[in-house]
Amino acid sequence: MDVGSHSVAFPRRWWYPVARSSELGRKPLAVTLMDVPLVVFRDAAGVPAVVLDRCGHRNYPLSLGRVTDDGLLQCGYHGWSYDGGGQCLRVPGLRQVRTQSTWHVPAHACVEQDGFVWAWGEPDAEPTRPPYALPVVGGRGAGETVFRCDVESTLRASLENALDVPHTAFLHRGLFRGNAPRNTITAIRRPIEGGVEVQYLGEPVGMGPVRLPESSGRTFDHWDRFLLPSIAQIEYAVEGWFRIVNTLVQLPLSPFRTRAWFVVRFSSPLPAPLVRAVVKQQGRRILRQDADALARQTERTRSLGGERYASTELDLLGTAIWRLLHQAERAEQPDGEDLPPATISERQVVFDA
């Protein structure tokens, strides 16, 4: 595959996470979605809204204003005030505000779910599907931890990095894999609704140098999943013992900068606070290595004018993510409605890890 920087895909008719519910209070919050400035705020009833971060009057950032007592977003320059649909309802000094299209600012459909505020990528449009629902992990010792990281990376590269098994034995040697004897693992890729998944069979139970002996007969149940447009999910389980699901919900801030929230939900026989502390500590160490690698990859990509990738049969998810993102983007073009969906074939690969 040989593609240039123009190939950064951005399907608009999908949901994107723009903020965690906990970080959105009474003050407006500035975010960006693929270089488009947006502002997120709660109205008087606490319902979130997302509009373009510009006042229709003089282009002043609405995120520098305030939310009034009756739930309008008020510009800090001249006081023009907008509702969650982007309609200007109040202009100080005017006795009557006329409805004019030039006074309207584009608004994005918005919902609050799973502790996140999600915005529809296309402004002033009706969503055609609900946001992805994060899986519930219950049972003994159930818990959750969430942390965030901004990476210098395209959305696609960030997604692939999260789901790429081969790099873990090298970049994360000792933290995740690499210090124990190599084992033969079978990987099976399958298309799923809205994306693709890979199931790994025969993977020994362990982390870094700590592993259960082969005589235990236990192996991981391991799945990696990509779901359009920006969800990466890693699931590990040992039946009757524990389950951990790490769901990365990602926001493309710009073509080469991505924000990722890591939502780690787990159940285990160990106390939840202990598991939470270990997951956060190890997760952040691995994340620092990934963020540095992605930044260096992006720096080289941009200096050479675009991506130049060579892939093998081990790159089960990277090429599939690329195809699904670009097909979703093409389907939104005027002549793309009749395009057949991207075909992700079932594939089985045996490799050493």
17-72 pLDDT per residue, tens: 999 999 998 899 999 999 999 999 999 999 999 999 999 999 999 999 999 999 99
Residue 33 lies in a domain: yes
What's the CATH number where 89 sits? 2.102.10.10
| Whether residue 333 sits in one domain with residue 198 | yes
Q: Are 257 and 243 in contact (CB under 8 A)?
A: no
**199 in helix, strand or coil?**
strand
Cα 273 vs. chain centroid, distance in angstroms? 25
pLDDT at 353: 67
19 vs 97: which has the higher pLDDT: 19
Bridge partners of residue 265, in order along the sequence:
144, 245
For residue range 161-175, list pLDDT tens digits in order. Answer: 999 988 877 777 766
Share of the chain above pLDDT 70, in %: 89
**20 in helix, strand or coil?**
strand
At which of 85, 120, 155 does a domain end?
120
pLDDT at 309: 84
| Whether residue 150 sits in one domain with residue 116 | no
Q: Which of 109, 103, 96 is nearest to 75 (CA)?
A: 103
User: The domain containing residue 205 runs over which residues?
Assistant: 143-352
pLDDT at 6: 45
d(CA 264, CA 266): 7
> Given a cut of 70, is residue 102 above it in pLDDT?
yes
At which of 56, 89, 120 does a domain end?
120
What's the CATH number where 295 sits? 3.90.380.10
For residue range 52-67, list pLDDT tens digits in order. Answer: 999 999 999 999 999 9
d(CA 74, CA 222): 49
pTM: predicted TM-score of the whole model, two decimal places = 0.90
**4 in helix, strand or coil?**
coil
Residue 117: burial class (beta carbons within 10 Å; 0-12, 13-18, 19+): buried
Q: Which of 22, 66, 64, 20 is nearest to 43 (CA)?
A: 66
Residue 226 lies in a domain: yes
Q: Are 97 and 90 in contact (CB under 8 A)?
A: yes
Number of domains in the chain: 2
Residue 129 lies in a domain: no
- The Cβ of residue 288 has, within 10 Å, a number of other Cβ atoms equal to 11
| Whether residue 148 sits in one domain with residue 292 | yes
| Whether residue 156 sits in one domain with residue 70 | no
Residue 55 lies in a domain: yes
Residue type, 123: P
**105 in helix, strand or coil?**
coil
Q: Are 326 and 341 in contact (CB under 8 A)?
A: no
**Strand 210-211 vs strand 184-192: parallel, antiparallel, or unpaired?**
unpaired
Q: At 144, give phi and psi (nearest 5°).
A: -150, 145
At which of 87, 120, 153 does a domain end?
120
| Whether residue 111 sits in one domain with residue 147 | no
| Whether residue 237 sits in one domain with residue 286 | yes
The 8-class DSSP code of residue 63 comes to: G
Residue 312 lies in a domain: yes
| Whether residue 205 sits in one domain with residue 346 | yes
pLDDT at 2: 37
Residue 331 lies in a domain: yes
Q: What is the mean pLDDT of the chain?
A: 89
Q: How many residues does the chain have?
A: 353
Residue 104 lies in a domain: yes
Residue 1 lies in a domain: no
| Whether residue 218 sits in one domain with residue 99 | no
